Structure 1
Amino acid sequence: MDTSASRPLAARVPVVFAVAVLVVALDQATKFWAESTLPGRAPIPVLGEFLRFRLLYNPGAAFSIGAGSTWIFTIITAVAVVVLIRFALKPASGVQAVALSLLLGGAITHLLDRLFREPGFARGHVVDFIDYNGWFVGNVADIALFSGAVLLLVPALFGGEDQKKAED
């Protein structure tokens, strides 16, 4: 039986924020590395053409959608951070707590990029450098966001009766 939902809030807060802070630290450290190593270089193969390091600055959302609306994404991301903090402090399970913490860390680090990177406050571009076979270019925060979303969806889609019994 998972007792994380019955644990007091004070016991969950350090774990939730530790995971989120770890995501932010890893993401910002790897972006620092990318910005100091990759400018002006051809893509660096990691796994052949399938996975390469290539520096890009993304003013929009995923796949650079809405590149002219960076300030809107800044507002949406700030709201998402507040909502995620609220939900991360009340997870129904340990898996959900980790998932929400990953989402929170990814959202915070993207918000930091939008607030403090060029070209200016609330208009900053997200640093992307992990090129997935030319399909898209992302970063560590994107990996955390994807992983968090999968951790939330898989139990919801396939938990079925076991999840309902655990909730009862």
Structure 2
Amino acid sequence: MLIDQGTKALALAQLSEHERIPLLGDCLGLQLAFNPGTVMSLGSDSCGEAQSATSSTDCAPGFGRGHVTDFLAYGNLFNGNLSEVILGAGAALGILLCLRGHTPHSNH
């Protein structure tokens, strides 16, 4: 959570909503964005439950109803932040483990 909040604070201090810094050409860059939706700018009409409580307090209009600070621009598709990358990697790993037939060891 500290890394997530730290990267968002750094993005607020160093990035602009109007200028993108390319990292991988047009595919990936750094650009400040404020997202009222959930993960990867989806569901922008509401603050969904998948959104963390700390993310929704980042910006106006107020506690638990705020906009998420995003700074990773994926082409012209959507914007995200580091916590979403970590959630996505965890979900992908979980799916991969399920597909490989891995089950948690039980104590029985």
The reply to whether TM is greater than 0.5 is yes
Partner residue, 1:152: 94
CA RMSD after TM alignment: 2.2
Cα separation, 2, equivalents of 1:44 and 1:53: 5
Greater CA radius of gyration, 1 or 2?
A: 1
Greater helix share, structure number: 1
Greater strand share, structure number: 2
The 3 A distance-change label for structure 1 pair 146 and 66 is closer
Unaligned runs of 5+ in 2: none
Q: Percent identity?
A: 35
Q: CA deviation at 1:122?
A: 1.4
1:115 paired with 2:51, answer no
Cα separation, 2, equivalents of 1:123 and 1:49: 31
Unaligned runs of 5+ in 1: 1-23, 78-106
Query: Which one of the candidate residues 83, 97, 103 is aligned to 1:141?
Result: 83
Give the aligned residue type for 1:64. S
> TM-score of the superposition, structure 2-length normalised?
0.82
Give the aligned residue type for 1:133. G
Structure with higher RCO (Cα < 8 A, 6+ apart): 1
Query: Which one of the candidate residues 49, 56, 69 is aligned to 2:33?
Result: 56
The 3 A distance-change label for structure 1 pair 40 and 68 is closer
Give every structure 1 segment of 4 or more consecutive aligned residues whose post-TM-superposition deviation is greater than 4 Å.
none
